[in-house]
Amino acid sequence: MGKLNESSTLDTDWDLLILGAGASGLMCAATAGYQGLKVLVLDHSPKAAGKIRISGGGKCNFTNLQVTPEHYVCQNPHFVKSALSRYPSTAFIELVERHGLAYETRELGKLFCRDRASDLIQILRTECDWAQVAFSLNTSLESVEVAAGLYQLRTTSGNFRARQFVIATGALSFPKLKASDLGYRLAEQFGLRVLPTRPGLVPLVFTGKWQQRCADLAGLSLDVTVSAGGRCFTEAILFTHQGLSGPGILQASNYWFEGQPLVINLLPKQAVMNELKQLRQTAGNLSRWLQNYLPKRFVQQWLVWYPLAAEVANASDGELQAYAEQLSAWTLYPAATAGYDKAEVTLGGVDTDELSSKTFEVKKQPGLYFIGEVLDVTGHLGGFNFQWAWASGVACAQAVAQRVAEKNRKFNP
Ligand SMILES: Cc1cc2nc3c(=O)[nH]c(=O)nc-3n(C[C@H](O)[C@H](O)[C@H](O)COP(=O)(O)OP(=O)(O)OC[C@H]3O[C@@H](n4cnc5c(N)ncnc54)[C@H](O)[C@@H]3O)c2cc1C
């Protein structure tokens, strides 16, 4: 990767400074570099794209075949539409295919690297090299000031300035990968509203009796429908020593708030009441019936937690109805999320109302842009967060390139 060499004049003027060498920062840098802009990317981490490396279990779920605005949580649901439609997942797939990336399609349209996530990092690094992007890694920001339309950055590697400044510092999840709140602090410095943040795509934990019950079943997974905050997801859930995880729980966690219930339909594909009535008619065995659909270890515990008051054969319609509801709307109250250490993403962030959805420029601060996860935009599980990073990075770079070209035309007609 083209690093800033030691002899560079640190006060050199750049067309574009990008803070954050993560997914959105690299995409923005390469796109702007290809448009002929002189781009410098700064990051406090010694390595670029740390999250890509560990994402998707080391294989990076880099996009999804079916990306729609409904796959995102954002206070303004229209905000994501422009960038996502201008840079669809097919565009990113074309890019990685041009580089010969081996990838595979998994359930629900998720695309993963076939071998390792670092193959994708290599592609982004190559793109940046070809676009002649410069890097200053291991660099911490000390201050940013704006004077006469120039953003002046004081950093531990010297001072840099440019008329266009993109903040791509991501969010709070996974602090061990150098996540920080810098993007929010800079937003506040420029008078922007930052919406309250909380961990997303995160396991949920219980205390007391339910923690013990989950721990007893740790490692077991169920295919169910999970609902929280009015949204439901039919995906697997996993019992853990602290509570519940698995794709269904991570998805629901984006819509769950402390104190609110989590509702699990254990038999989403069955007409439960009809089957229970049939069981009564044939004097069948409840445990054996449940084991047609659920693992034995779970059924054994379930019947201890929720015994049917009467034998099935003697149960009234009312008792069967109550039991059917117990199975299809199992309601639990998690104590909390597992926190930012375990969260894949951060909900909330820089209020999108502060920005143009086409250019990502701050409405009241020309030349300043925010992209990626630092914004109040959070995708579902399935490659949607990286797709947002790519799409917002590209849209912003195109806008910056247009702005720089307009300025150049003005000064060199
Ligand atoms: C464990 C895990 C697995 C994930 N798996 C997937 C997946 O498979 N698919 C998917 O779509 N999404 C996944 N995500 C989410 C995805 O990684 C993020 O949404 C995406 O990386 C956001 O891109 P970004 O450019 O906004 O931020 P990031 O990629 O996080 O980049 C931010 C950059 O800013 C730098 N930075 C931060 N603070 C400072 C500072 N103070 N000074 C200088 N630089 C700073 C960081 O070092 C980093 O390089 C996963 C996340 C995690 C944590």
Q: Which domains does the chain have, with CATH numbers?
A: 13-199+345-411 (3.50.50.60), 204-337 (2.40.30.10)
- Ligand 1 atom nearest to CA at 59: 8
361 neighbors 163 (Cβ within 8 angstroms): no
Q: Give one DSSP letter per residue of 277-345, joined into a string.
A: HHHHHTT--HHHHHHTTS-HHHHHHHHHHS--SS-GGG--HHHHHHHHHHHHSEEE---EE--TTT-SE
Give dist(CA 355, CA 366) in Å, integer.
10
Considering only CA atoms, give the Rg of the chain: 25
400 neighbors 16 (Cβ within 8 angstroms): yes
Q: Ligand 1: which residues within 6 Å by Cβ?
A: 19-25, 43-45, 50-51, 54-56, 60-61, 140-141, 168-170, 173-174, 178-180, 182, 344-345, 372-374, 383-386, 389
Pocket test for ligand 1, best of 93, 153, 169, 173 (most atoms within 8 A of CB): 169
Give dist(CA 155, CA 137) in Å, integer.
11
Give dist(CA 274, CA 278) in Å, integer.
6
Instruction: Enumerate the β-bridge partners of residue 39.
Output: 16
Q: What is the pLDDT of residue 2?
A: 53
- Divide the 413 residues of the chain into consecutive groups of 10 and give the mean pLDDT of each group: 45 87 98 98 96 96 98 98 98 98 97 97 98 98 96 96 97 95 98 98 98 98 97 97 98 98 97 96 95 98 93 93 97 98 98 98 98 98 98 98 87 70
Q: What is the pLDDT of residue 163?
A: 96
Six-digit token string for 291: 């084991």
CA torsion, ordered 74, 75, 77, 82, to nearest 10 deg: -70
- Ligand 1 atom nearest to CA at 170: 27
Q: What is the pLDDT of residue 406?
A: 86
Q: What is the pLDDT of residue 9?
A: 41
Six-digit token string for 150: 């120039």
Q: What is the pLDDT of residue 80?
A: 98
Q: What is the pLDDT of residue 115?
A: 97
- Ligand 1 atom nearest to CA at 371: 26
